């Protein structure tokens, strides 16, 4: 007889807000000492641990008999070049890159004398550093400007509390460590001073400190503290290496401070005081006389899709338009060089690169041919160079890294992603469809499938969605998708509102009081795939993670017949309770995105209406797999645990409902590159079993 699924004991807790009383039967799964658990998972309440482990055993039992996970893992691993390496990035006399060893889980950071590939020097061996740790994740790695020191950030729990470590590269000696940082740091030009950010008790990067290598971190000076609990702070450096940057922001407003990188002990000064709803980021062009000028990407003065302005170096100097605002052409990023500026733009859910000389020559756009594709700008250590490095891929074309000469307008392929087990792009088709939303909006859908696949309206389709924070979902290449596509799946991405693929308004029409557009857009994309003859109701699977997992929770409640299976990775499903609790990680900074249900009754009613946990009903649900990370500070483990418990209480029918909690990891899952594949294999084996495709190859 099959083992019965675990059931959490309801312990109702009543909460009343804005005259509305609701009952939370599983609030007890949130332990009061959650902050300590983030640092030390071993102290988790035994009752909660027992429940999570019982859920994990139930998930294991689901795969009893024909378990495809081991075979899928080997298949996924076989597509990864084990001894891979990045393209060396030049910086003065050195070239820096990362590589992996055969069987290695973590990157090895290396440098070599410029043009001398046979003289590589290992700076940081990730696999050796990770020995003895159940979880080990490397964050930022940066060498000092004089190449004598290495700074690197390490998370050893999955909770995103990073230890900032320093290493003397000349003598191979480890120096002091700074604890409880966000992993964000930047070197000053003296090659001994760094600025870094530290986390507060609610896991918010709120303070910037200055550390001098070789001194006791206890004496580090506070450079800036952000008083607004809804703002994050971060540090950076202009491409010109002239200024250190302190950026304070929430999801709609930003404020930037600069410090001379040559004088890091000076006080920072504000480029422009914050104005609610005004976002900007700052770059530096030193070419004009004096201190040069600032190049600023901003949405000020109604530039919804952003424009570029110039300003003199100084506090609150006038801004003058340089690249005008064009509605529908989102300027999503800038990269500044000594003689060129590169814009990354998005138009109708496709990216493009525009090169503008800092002379009187006309700008030009780099052209690409495929119907749907992804682009990425690679940073450059060197400022005075004509070479732009970027990456290109599509859903069928593996990632390619190019060096583009901005003067000659020519490109050189520096690296193409290798798929050791083999990949022939001509065997696959990538397409772009459009779905029509309830209000007439046109929703792009990127998809891929095997060439010659019989479109009989019965194909299984995996539809991915996110639609929050303005994040754009690129139509990029992924080796892991091939395991499903080769077995007859169609893989599709719904570019729903809440992202920024079609401009800033595409984002604002999918957030806060208009959040429901995200959900109905996703359903419209699913129906479009049915109309196009790819699939039918019940043969669709949906996949999303984090805020995309919240989308999964909503569609499970509201469109249960449309989908046959749902995979919700670390899903943000307890939206109302989380957004009503300012003591939780990241809640105040999230209010501009979701609304503040504590102070705004309208926001409360909106979230109450769709929050997945509150709206679980007595109905037949699709097969559901949810995942969690015990030390996840972004979507705390109890959100998916509570959601699954409530689903077990109310759902009808016998469709599988599984919860897998990684007891040794956080938001990003397992840290090693192969360990992560085990979680991918889990999700794919679940889908193949649900759709009866376990025997497909």
Q: In which element (H, E) is residue 24 found?
A: strand 20-24
CA 537 to each of CA 363, 403, 457, 562: distance values in angstroms, whole numbers, following the listed order: 48, 46, 10, 5
Q: What angle separates helix 46-62 from helix 638-650, to the nearest 10 degrees?
A: 60
- The strand pair at 307-312 and 320-323 is best described as antiparallel
Active-site annotation holder among 24, 281, 632, 671 = 632
Pairwise CA distance, residues 73 & 106, whole Å: 18
CB 285 within 8 A of CB 337: no
Active-site annotation holder among 394, 446, 468, 546 = 546
Pairwise CA distance, residues 345 & 351, whole Å: 6
CB 330 within 8 A of CB 306: yes
Is 423 one of the catalytic residues? no
Judged on CB neighbours under 10 Å (0-12, 13-18, 19+), 38 is: buried
Is 546 one of the catalytic residues? yes
Pairwise CA distance, residues 285 & 281, whole Å: 14
Is 109 one of the catalytic residues? no
CB 672 within 8 A of CB 640: no
Determine the straight-line distance between the first and last CA of the chain, rounded to whole angstroms: 30
CA 588 to each of CA 230, 246, 561, 583, 666: distance values in angstroms, whole numbers, following the listed order: 5, 20, 36, 9, 21
Q: Is 421 left (phi over 0), alpha (psi -120 to 50) or beta?
A: alpha
Q: What is the SS3 assignment for 104?
A: coil
Judged on CB neighbours under 10 Å (0-12, 13-18, 19+), 469 is: middle
CB 185 within 8 A of CB 138: no
CB 291 within 8 A of CB 313: yes
Residues known to be catalytic: 546, 632, 667
């Amino acid at each position: 007889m099959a083992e019965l699924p675990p059931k959490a004991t309801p312990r109702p807790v009543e909460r009343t807000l804005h005259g509305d009383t609701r009952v939370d039967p599983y609030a007890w799964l949130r332990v009061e000492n959650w902050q300590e658990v983030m640092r030390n998972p071993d102290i988790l309440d035994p009752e909660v641990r027992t429940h999570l482990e019982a859920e994990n055993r139930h998930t294991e039992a689901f795969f009893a008999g024909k378990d495809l996970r081991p075979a899928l893992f080997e298949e996924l691993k076989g597509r990864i070049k084990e001894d891979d390496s990045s393209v060396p990035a030049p910086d003065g006399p050195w070239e820096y890159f990362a590589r992996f060893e055969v069987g290695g889980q973590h990157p090895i950071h290396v440098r070599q004398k410029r043009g001398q590939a046979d003289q590589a020097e290992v700076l940081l061996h990730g696999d050796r550093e990770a020995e003895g740790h159940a979880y080990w994740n490397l964050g930022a790695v940066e060498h000092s400007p004089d190449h004598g020191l290495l700074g690197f950030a390490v998370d050893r729990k999955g909770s995103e509390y990073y230890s900032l470590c320093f290493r003397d590269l000349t003598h191979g000696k480890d120096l002091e460590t700074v604890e409880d940082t966000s992993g964000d740091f930047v070197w000053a030009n003296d090659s001994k001073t760094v600025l870094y950010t530290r986390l507060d008790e609610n896991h918010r990067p709120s303070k910037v400190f200055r550390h001098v290598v070789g001194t006791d971190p206890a004496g580090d000076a506070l450079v800036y503290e952000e008083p607004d609990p809804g703002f994050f702070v971060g540090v950076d450096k202009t491409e010109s290496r002239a200024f250190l940057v302190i950026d304070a922001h929430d999801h709609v407003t930003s404020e930037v401070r600069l410090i001379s990188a040559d004088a890091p002990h000076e006080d920072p000064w504000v480029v422009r005081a914050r104005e609610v709803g005004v976002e900007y980021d700052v770059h530096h062009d030193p070419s004009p006389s004096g201190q040069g000028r600032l190049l600023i990407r901003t949405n000020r003065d109604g530039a919804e899709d952003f424009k570029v302005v110039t300003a003199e170096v100084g506090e609150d100097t006038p801004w003058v338009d340089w690249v005008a605002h064009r509605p529908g052409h989102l300027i999503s990023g800038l990269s500044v060089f000594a003689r060129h500026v590169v814009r990354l733009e998005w138009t109708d859910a496709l990216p493009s690169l525009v090169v503008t000389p800092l002379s009187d020559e006309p700008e030009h756009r780099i052209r690409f041919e495929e119907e749907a594709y992804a682009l990425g700008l690679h940073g450059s250590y060197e400022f005075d160079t004509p070479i732009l490095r970027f990456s290109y891929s599509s859903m069928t074309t593996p990632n390619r890294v190019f060096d583009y000469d901005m003067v000659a307008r020519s490109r050189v392929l520096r690296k193409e992603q290798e798929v050791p087990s083999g990949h022939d792009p001509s065997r696959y088709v990538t397409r772009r469809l459009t779905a029509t939303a309830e209000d007439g909006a046109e929703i792009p859908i990127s998809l891929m499938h095997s060439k010659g696949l019989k479109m009989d309206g019965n194909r299984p389709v995996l539809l991915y969605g996110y639609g929050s924070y303005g994040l754009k979902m690129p139509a990029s290449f992924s080796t892991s998708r091939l395991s499903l596509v080769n077995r007859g799946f169609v893989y599709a991405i719904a570019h729903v509102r809440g992202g920024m693929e079609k401009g800033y308004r595409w984002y604002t029409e999918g957030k806060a009081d208009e959040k429901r557009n995200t959900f109905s857009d996703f359903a419209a994309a699913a129906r479009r795939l049915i109309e196009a003859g790819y699939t039918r109701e019940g043969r669709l699977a949906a996949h999303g993670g984090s805020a995309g997992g919240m989308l999964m929770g909503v569609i499970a409640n509201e469109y249960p017949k449309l989908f046959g299976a749902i995979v919700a990775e670390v899903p943000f499903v307890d939206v109302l309770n989380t957004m009503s609790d300012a003591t939780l990680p990241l809640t105040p900074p999230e209010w501009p995105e979701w609304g503040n249900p504590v102070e705004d009754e309208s926001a409360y009613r909106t979230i109450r209406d769709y929050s997945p946990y509150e709206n679980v009903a007595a109905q037949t649900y699709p097969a559901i797999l949810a995942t969690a990370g015990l030390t996840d500070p972004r979507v705390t483990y109890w959100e998916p645990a509570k959601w699954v418990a409530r689903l077990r209480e109310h759902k009808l029918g016998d469709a599988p409902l599984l919860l897998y909690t990684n007891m040794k990891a956080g938001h990003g899952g397992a840290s090693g590159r192969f360990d992560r594949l085990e979680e991918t294999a889990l999700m794919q084996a679940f889908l193949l079993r649900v759709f009866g495709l376990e025997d497909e190859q």
